[in-house]
Amino acid sequence: MRTENPVKAPRPSARTQDPEGTRQNIIEVASQEFAENGLAGARIDEIAAKTRFSKRMIYYYFRDKEGLYLSALEHAYSQVREGEAHLDIDGLAPTEALQRITEFTFDHHHQHEAFIRMVMIENIHGAQYLKKSEAISRLNVTAISHIQALYEKGVGEGVFRPGLDPLDIHWQISALCFFNVSNRATFSHLFGRDMGAQSVQKALRQNTVEMVARYVMLHP
């Protein structure tokens, strides 16, 4: 894999008053660039041209293209995990909490195609860069802990069947919601139906909620 050689970057000037805002702007633009062109195809020059900052500034914050890619990947995962954290499902009945998580995942993936593309790219790389991120590992612990808590509550109340692994439940939800975006274009072409149409997405969303519920429920 050919990488771009970083140049020695100067420290940002005193006029740069918002370093976090700078990083955020660069990451948002870079995320779209990586999603569209992959790690190998993305160019720092293009990313710089679409931000308010120079190529040298990007290298100052992220060191090289791989560092920027990893930061963009971490940002993508943090968005979905933060969204889950704001669902406030602790006081809900287990079935309603499971439905809320499934609906959120479906909607998030539908609205963030760049996230799906970046995960697909990272799978092509065999999770090579994801393995380097302690932040992503910590973030995904919370995804399983939320499902485990509601699942154990549901088992205790006699509404969920026992013996399931919370990770498997997370896998099922992710698989259905991920495939909805990752294979939308090919399915639309192969079977002559616009899988992205609003009416189709509405039906698929409801079907996904029902399939997950039937997988977990004691008496579906």
Per residue in 109-156, pLDDT (tens digit) is 999 999 999 999 999 999 999 999 989 988 888 889 999 999 999 999
Per residue in 189-200, pLDDT (tens digit) is 999 999 999 999
The region that residue 115 occupies, defined by phi over 0 for left and psi between -120 and 50 for alpha, beta otherwise, is alpha
Would you give the DSSP letter of residue 166? H
CA–CA distance from 73 to each of 133, 141, 162 (Å)?
9, 16, 35
- 176 pLDDT band, cuts 50/70/90, is very high
Contacts 24+ apart (CB under 8 A), 156-162: 157/93, 157/94, 158/218, 159/94, 159/95, 159/217, 159/218, 160/94, 160/216, 160/217, 160/218, 161/216, 161/217, 161/218
Q: Which fold has domain 90-216?
A: Tetracycline Repressor; domain 2 (1.10.357)
Q: Is the pLDDT of residue 2 over 80?
A: no
Q: Is the pLDDT of residue 7 over 60?
A: no
CA–CA distance from 189 to each of 67, 82, 112, 193, 204 (Å)?
36, 34, 21, 7, 17
- Mean pLDDT for the stretch of residues 43-69: 94
Q: Is the pLDDT of residue 13 over 70?
A: no
Q: Is the pLDDT of residue 23 over 90?
A: yes
The region that residue 163 occupies, defined by phi over 0 for left and psi between -120 and 50 for alpha, beta otherwise, is left
Q: Map out the domains of the chain as residue ranges.
A: 90-216
β-pair partners for 217: 160
Q: Is the pLDDT of residue 10 over 70?
A: no
Q: And the tokens for 209?
A: 């909620």
Using CB atoms within 10 Å of the CB of residue 177, give its burial: 0 to 12 exposed, 13 to 18 middle, 19+ buried: buried
Residues in the chain: 220
CA–CA distance from 91 to each of 141, 169, 216 (Å)?
21, 20, 19
Q: Is the pLDDT of residue 220 over 70?
A: no
How far apart (Å, rounded) are the C-alpha atoms in residues 172 and 176?
6
